Amino acid sequence: MQTEARPGIGSKYYRFLEDLGSPAFLLEPDTEQVVGANRQGLALLNRDFEQVSRMTWADFFSGGDDGRPALELAEAEETRVFYCDIAKRTDKSVPAKVEVSNATLGSRQLFLVRITDITERRQAEEALRESESLFSCLATHCLDGLCIHEDGKVLLANQAYCDIFGFSPTEMIGISSYAFIAPESRDDVYKKVSSAYDKAYEALCIKRDGTTFVAEIHGTKAQYRGREVRISVLRDITGQKKARDSARLHTLQMNRAQEEERKRIARDLHDGTIQSLASLILDLELAIRKEASSPELSHSLQHACDDARHIIQEVRSYCHELRPDVLDKLDLTAAVEALCSDLNRKGIRTFFDVSGTTRELQPDAELMIFRIVQEATRNIWRHSHAAQATVSVFFASKTVRLIVEDNGVGFPTPRTSGDQPLEGKLGLVGMKERAKSVGGTLIVRSASGKGTRIIFEADL
């Protein structure tokens, strides 16, 4: 389809309009009459050229003469831009960007009118306004502090954020984001922000009056009004942290008391029960020698003597589990390796791996980690029916990570930690409590027929 022609304008000018590639029209300056249009322009208005050729500048606008901007010749190469609604044949209007410039075609001076449909842009702007309105509503009513940072400075903060630090919303704008972070936490926070860290973390913050508090901060990158910013949500958790630390200390003290009680029971069993059984064995051996003339009685006494020896072995095993002396003689990794060797002796092929630079931990932490591995390997032996297991210890600069896994039958994990005691998973409860007592986390992943994986991690 060729561009429509009008008397007095050569076809080359229409090729000029077509080459523009977007809706375009030519208008006479005196009459403001349309004298040329390309295919994209006709399609935009949903009209043919005959209909368009009867249009004037005012007819382009849904408001007629009242809604049209003035059409005037401008300085050379100047383009005037209008944003308005363009009328279509269907009586519908299209939001548009209208660009008007002078066009000299041969000896004629005309107006070149280019129109861009900005419906999608208008919709996007409306969606953005709605989004910003919703964001503003959420920020206003959010109980946590919410702040938008740009280039390390506060761009916008809600009232809760201002109240936390003791500034008004106006005072807050433009302040360095790191001014609210205590010096001892500043480097860590800077690294997290620089690396686009998007998980919750704790930091020591400082208020306007100089008092400090522990905050939980969760930040993420976002687009705000076409700019890349970082949105941070901050919550004062000083009270929660004190309560958590108090609970952790209480659990640690209980574990210490349990260990002391384990020691006492192991000592009593060794010094009392085992010694009594040893004396019983001596008495039985003496009776066997005296009753050598009675084979039947000697056999019964020998059987009793063997049972007593077996009971001694079991009691010694209980004593070892109650208070393993391996921790007193070896470091943590060697003690864990000893547990793996014990599992190997029981017929389960067990691999032990240590990575990172090993280091000595606090005695309480080493004992809790040892107990977790001890319970995990005991469960593998008793319940997993596994052929193979792996115990891995990872040492990082500030953290220790432990993984114990097997290829056994697995089990459906309880939905919540509160269900574990009800389902007989007291061993799991004990492991998690020990993990919490040293500030760590313990995750159990298992499913029927898919083995079990236990992951412990703590900053130690």
- Alpha-carbon dihedral of residues 234, 235, 238, 243, nearest 10 degrees? -130
pLDDT digits (tens, 9 = 90+) for 28-47: 888 889 988 998 999 999 88
Residue 5: the pLDDT is: 46
In 3D space, the residue among 42, 50, 168 whose CA is nearest the CA of residue 115 turns out to be 42
Q: In what order do the strands lie in the sheet with 93-105?
A: 34-37, 24-27, 108-117, 93-105, 79-87
- Distance CA(427)–CA(372), nearest Å, equals 9
Residue 194: the pLDDT is: 87
Judge whether residue 298 has pLDDT over 90: no
Phi/psi of residue 234, each to 5°? Answer: -125, 140
CA distances to 2, 129, 362, 367 from 431, in Å: 81, 51, 18, 12
Whole-angstrom Cα Rg for the chain? 41
Q: Report the pLDDT averaged over residues 434-453.
A: 90
- Distance CA(66)–CA(239), nearest Å, equals 65
Judge whether residue 171 has pLDDT over 70: yes
Amino acid letter for position 374: Q
Residue 68: the pLDDT is: 65
Q: Report the pLDDT averaged over residues 95-109.
A: 87
Residue 74: the pLDDT is: 52
pTM of the model: 0.48
- Distance CA(456)–CA(365), nearest Å, equals 12
Contact (CB, 8 A) for 145 and 164: yes
Q: Report the pLDDT averaged over residues 429-451.
A: 90
Q: Report the pLDDT averaged over residues 274-286.
A: 85
pLDDT digits (tens, 9 = 90+) for 386-412: 999 999 999 998 899 999 999 999 988
- Distance CA(425)–CA(427), nearest Å, equals 5
Asked which of 110-124, 195-209, 266-280, 414-428 is least confident by mean pLDDT, the reply is 414-428
H or E stretch including 99? strand 93-105
- Distance CA(360)–CA(364), nearest Å, equals 11
Band of residue 423 on the pLDDT scale cut at 50, 70, 90? very low
Pairing of strands 93-105, 108-117: antiparallel
- Which structure tokens are listed for 183? 């010096």
Residue 215: the pLDDT is: 94
Judge whether residue 158 has pLDDT over 70: yes
